[in-house]
Amino acid sequence: MSYVDEIYAKVVEQNPGEAEFHQAVKEVLDSLKLVIDANEEKYRKMALLERMVEPERIISFRVPWVDDNGQVQVNKGYRVQFNSAIGPYKGGLRLHPSVNQGILKFLGFEQVFKNSLTGLPIGGGKGGSNFDPKGKSDREVMAFCQSFMTELSKYIGADQDVPAGDIGVGAREIGFLYGQYKRMTGLYEGVLTGKGLNYGGSLVRTQATGYGLVYILDEMLKANNKELAGKTVVISGSGNVAIYATEKAQQLGAKVVALSDSNGYIYDKDGIKLDVVKDIKEVRRGRIKEYVNTVPSAVYTEGKGIWTIKCDIALPCATQNELNLEDAKALKANGCFAVAEGANMPSTREATDFFLESGMLFMPGKAANAGGVATSALEMSQNSQRLAWTFEEVDAKLKDIMVNIFAKADDAAKRYGVAGNYVAGANIAGFEKVVDAMMAQGIV
Ligand code: NDP
Ligand code: 2IT
């Protein structure tokens, strides 16, 4: 058995029940076959892959808090510190009832390669809880965040591990978490990113993942003699990533006709009115179906099905495995020619293979959504310098980073004879830097 296949078999055997983690590892290992096979003896001796697929540390803890009825609630809390070869652990915190250790391991694993691709000095980590912020009062969210941080604060720090937002964690949660960290440690430091602008946050961080997604999409289209202006775009989700992907796509002349949440999707043939969506989601914390109350010409459909809408470009920006083979085929049949992943691993393996085999342009999440964490790293730089850069400065850096990520993925794919396969390109380019650092640092 090849080294790569042997490691995958071990991962499945030693991490039972963690389907998403297996899936993420398999995709990366399959891409790396060409690189690993050429250095098999050296890497085997150093147990490089064994170390690559094993988190450096997983912290798991109890999160007790009191709800508005005086009832004590208990959630599970985690931080997966996956790999610190190229910098302090960096990655978001997810608050969603589906969160478990396997999902956070998949996200932490992806984060290692994504962060490497940004070219910035950040290692990979991820954390979160099965706490569901939906329907909770601000006080309940604060009680949860304070309890979560009371424990987490022992394991993080500006030069050690720097969490940020992900699903269910936005400005409100980061504020509560930051306040408690400061109270626990007495340190006013850049220990979290996505902070408010008045207490160390960076301009553009809110927009960064969505904007970055559209910057790299634009770059991929240009490299393939296509353009974004005038194209019809379908975007899933209606959270942070989806909203700012919509904003940038619209600014660059595309027409976004659909958005969704976990209940259903809206179709607006005239183009999504983003101020209406921002009011529903960012101000009122409502459901996407409320859009049709303000825009009666739009149509709301309950359930899945957003990928059956005719479009040129699809941007999955909700969650993992939200786009399967059937969806991929529906997109292709309707003329869609490009897909870029705003979410982490939103396409199933079968869907990804279909995109690649059918000649569609496909940019995987770890390259396409890296703008968020890249801007987090810019926030860390500003915190270290005790300076704040302008919107234009940060946005220009973000754009530059996304253009560079495209170039790295494109170049690695070409070097290994799979030109145009940005999945292989991104995995290989991300891997190369981490491996060099791991090999240089000895057996740790
Ligand atoms: P938000 O919490 O702001 O929004 C998430 C959106 O996705 C909501 O519309 C939500 O709908 C929908 N969604 C979540 N879970 C499901 C589900 N199981 N089924 C259907 N829809 C679902 O999160 P973000 O926008 O920040 O994150 C979206 C994706 O982007 C995630 O995969 C995240 O890991 C990834 N990402 C985020 C980055 C960031 O900077 N925020 C950076 C890089 C990647 P509902 O409200 O109904 O739950
Ligand atoms: O998946 C991701 O890259 C994020 N949720 C952002 C992480 C970060 O540290 O900004």
Q: Which pLDDT tens digits describe the chain residue by residue (444 residues)?
A: 899 999 999 999 999 999 999 999 999 999 999 899 889 999 999 999 999 999 999 999 999 999 999 999 999 999 999 999 999 999 999 999 999 999 999 999 999 999 999 999 999 999 999 999 999 999 999 999 999 999 999 999 999 999 999 999 999 999 999 999 999 999 999 999 999 999 999 999 999 999 999 999 999 999 999 999 999 999 999 999 999 999 999 999 999 999 999 999 999 999 999 999 999 999 999 999 999 999 999 999 999 999 999 999 999 999 999 999 999 999 999 999 999 999 999 999 999 999 999 999 999 999 999 999 999 999 999 999 999 999 999 999 999 999 999 999 999 999 999 999 999 999 999 999 999 999 999 999
Ligand located closest to 262 CA: 1
**CA–centroid distance, residue 400 to ligand 2 (Å):** 18
Determine contact, residues 439/46, Cβ cutoff 8 Å.
yes
Q: Would you call 304 exposed, middle or buried from its count of C-beta atoms within 10 A (0-12, 13-18, 19+)?
A: middle
Q: Is residue 416 in some structural domain?
A: no
Query: From the alpha carbon of 205, which atom of ligand 2 is closest?
Result: 10
> CA separation (Å) from 9 to 15, 22, 25, 111, 119?
10, 9, 11, 22, 31
Candidate of 319, 323, 341, 369 to mutate for ligand 1, largest count of ligand atoms within 8 Å of Cβ: 319
Determine contact, residues 102/29, Cβ cutoff 8 Å.
no
Determine contact, residues 249/233, Cβ cutoff 8 Å.
yes
For residues 64 and 35, membership in a common domain is answered with no
Closest alpha carbon to 204 in 70, 28, 35, 388: 388
Token duo for residue 42: 């050296």
Nearest CA, atom 19, ligand 1: 262
CB proximity list for 395: less than 8 A, separation 6 or greater: 204, 211
**CA–centroid distance, residue 173 to ligand 2 (Å):** 14
Query: From the alpha carbon of 370, which atom of ligand 2 is closest?
Result: 3
CB proximity list for 179: less than 8 A, separation 6 or greater: 146
Ligand located closest to 92 CA: 2
**CA–centroid distance, residue 101 to ligand 1 (Å):** 18
For residues 99 and 217, membership in a common domain is answered with no
From 368, 388, 417, the end of a domain falls on: 368
Query: From the alpha carbon of 208, which atom of ligand 2 is closest?
Result: 10
Query: From the alpha carbon of 342, which atom of ligand 1 is closest?
Result: 30
Domain residues for 325?
A: 208-368
CATH number of residue 344's parent domain: 3.40.50.720
From 349, 368, 387, the end of a domain falls on: 368
pTM: 0.98
Q: Is residue 266 in some structural domain?
A: yes
Q: Is residue 304 in some structural domain?
A: yes
Nearest CA, atom 3, ligand 2: 373
Q: Is residue 443 in some structural domain?
A: no
For residues 351 and 213, membership in a common domain is answered with yes
Query: From the alpha carbon of 94, which atom of ligand 1 is closest?
Result: 34
- Residue 189: the pLDDT is 98
Q: Which of 126, 248, 255, 408 is catalytic?
A: 126
Other beta carbons within 10 Å of 444? 8
Ligand located closest to 369 CA: 1
Q: How far is CA 106 from the centre of its chain?
A: 11
- Residue 138: the pLDDT is 98
Report the chain's C-alpha Rg in angstroms: 21
Determine contact, residues 353/379, Cβ cutoff 8 Å.
no
CATH number of residue 181's parent domain: 3.40.50.10860
Q: Is residue 390 in some structural domain?
A: no
- Residue 1: the pLDDT is 86
For residues 252 and 163, membership in a common domain is answered with no
For residues 240 and 270, membership in a common domain is answered with yes
> In the block, which residue shows the tokens 């020619």?
337
Task: Decide: 90 in ligand 2 pocket, CB within 6 A.
Answer: yes
Binding pocket residue ranges, ligand 1, CB within 6 Å? 165-168, 209, 237-242, 261-263, 317-319, 322, 342-344, 369, 372
For residues 167 and 180, membership in a common domain is answered with yes
Look up 126 and say whether it is catalytic.
yes
Ligand located closest to 240 CA: 1
Q: How far is CA 47 from the centre of its chain?
A: 28
Q: Is residue 410 in some structural domain?
A: no
Q: Is residue 20 in some structural domain?
A: yes
From 159, 191, 223, the end of a domain falls on: 191
Nearest CA, atom 48, ligand 1: 262
Nearest CA, atom 10, ligand 2: 373
